[in-house]
Each structure stands twice: as C-alpha cells, then as structure tokens.
Amino acid sequence: MLPTTSRGRTPSNVRPAPIFAQYLRRIVKWRQMDIEYTFWQMLHLCTSPKVVYQHTRYHKQTKNQWARDDPAFVVIFCLFLIVATSAYCVAYGETCVHAIYTIISVVSLHFLLAGILIATCCWFLTNSYLREETPNSHVVEQRVEWLYAFDVHCNSFFPTFILLYVVQYFVSPVLVAHGFFPVLLSNLLFMVAISYYHYLNFLGYDVLPFLDKLLSSYIQLASSLSSHH
C-alpha cells in the first residue's frame, strides 16, 4: 500500500484555495444558503453548544472538511450586527454620518478583522504546537483548516453578541446610571461574555481528534492573554 502523504507535500485533505473560493462565491447566492440550519446553530450555541460541535463531526464525515461550506452564518451574523448597532445609534441620537461609520466599524473591525486575526493566531498555534504527529506515513496528516478556525471564532462570538449587544442594550438605562450596581452589572456582563467566548473556543478545538494536550495549552494561553489585559 502506498503512503497517502509524504514530507514536503500538502496533505490530500487540505485544499484551502478551492474551498475558500467556493465559500466566497456562495456569499452572493442567498438561495443556496441554509438559513434554517443557521438559526438552529445560533440557538444551540447559546443553550447547548456541544450539540453544535457534534454536528461538526457529522459534517466532517459527509463533506470531508471541518469548516462550513455555507457562509449563511457569517452573512446573517453581519445583518444582526447592523441591526443592533443601528438600534444603539438611534437610541443615543447619533447623526446619520456617525451612525454609518459606527456600523461599518463594528462589522468590519470588531467582528471580521478581529475574527481574522484571532482565527489566524489559533490556526497557526494549533497546527504548529498542538497537532499529534502521525505514527507512520500511511496515515493521512490532518491539519486545522483556517476557515474552521474562523468558524470557531464566529460560533464563540455569537453568545458574546447576545450579551454585549442585545442584553446590554435593553439594560442600558440602568448601566448608564451612577452607582455601585450599574458598575457591578456591567462588569458581570463582560465577565460572563468573555468566559463563554473562551469556553466555546475551547469546545471548537477540543472536537478535533488530532490535537494533543489542548486543555492545558488553552488554559495557559487564556491566562497569558488575561494577564496582558
């Protein structure tokens, strides 16, 4: 039996360019997006996120890739961000020009650019330091797909969005007041949102069977990031 991979060659299950190109092409094809499944994922990310990553395993078995091939989650998430940011701008009397600037900043910088940077760092660290070495040349080498790392960020950021953009909006009359309770409530919202983000980020990489010593490495990484902040 001939080996499926060799040193110096790209593994057969890694096809970043075609997958990413197909993903981008489907962004403008609304009818091809699975909207119902996207809303199902968003609901379960807030209630039972492990179920979402169980379906990620099924996706790998049927599509031979961990990442989503449907950009519906990102498109709908961006629409939610636009609506939520617009609500804040209306509530706090922003001018039209400043509102447009704020909406573009939230979608492009807070979500997309930050997600690209975080996904790239996690993609590099997991592939460089956390992958198990293949025992022999007959086993197909597996790597974390960059698009999957971006999916993990999107999944982790959605409950954070619910807490810091939706819930915070409705309790904002309390948060803008002076006193101990508004400060406590605001910090509590941020603490829960950041903790849940890290938890979902861990679940996203924990589902990958070829990553080794993930828990201890992620705890060290999270603690180092927290100490810097």
Q: How does pLDDT run across 130-181, given as a tens digit for each residue? A: 887 665 555 567 889 999 999 999 999 999 999 999 999 999 999 988 889 9
Write phi, then psi, for 138 (nearest 5 degrees).
-85, -10
pLDDT attached to residue 18: 64
Residue 25 banded pLDDT, cuts 50, 70, 90: confident
Within-domain flag for 9 = no
Q: How many domains would you assign to the chain?
A: 1
Percent of the chain with pLDDT over 70: 78
Alpha-carbon span 51 to 41, nearest angstrom: 9
Within-domain flag for 7 = no
Within-domain flag for 6 = no
pLDDT attached to residue 7: 40
pLDDT attached to residue 166: 96
Inter-residue contact 53 to 204 (CB < 8 Å): yes
In the predicted structure, residue 14 carries a pLDDT above the cut 70 = no
pLDDT attached to residue 135: 59
Within-domain flag for 188 = yes
Within-domain flag for 123 = yes
Residue 13 banded pLDDT, cuts 50, 70, 90: very low
Angle between helices 35-47 and 146-161 (to 10 degrees): 60
pLDDT attached to residue 85: 95
Within-domain flag for 5 = no
pLDDT attached to residue 75: 93
Residue 60 banded pLDDT, cuts 50, 70, 90: confident
* Spatial CA neighbour of 13 closest among 141, 199, 167: 141
Alpha-carbon span 57 to 208, nearest angstrom: 8
Alpha-carbon span 226 to 229, nearest angstrom: 5
Which structural domain range is residue 170 located in? 16-228
Tokens for 14, please give them: 């890694």
Report how far Cα 163 is from the mean position of its chain's Cα atoms. Answer: 15
pLDDT attached to residue 139: 56
pLDDT (tens digit per residue) in 105-125: 999 999 999 999 999 999 999
Torsion, CA 86, CA 160, CA 47, CA 123, rounded to 10: 120
Within-domain flag for 28 = yes
Largest CA distance in the chain: 72
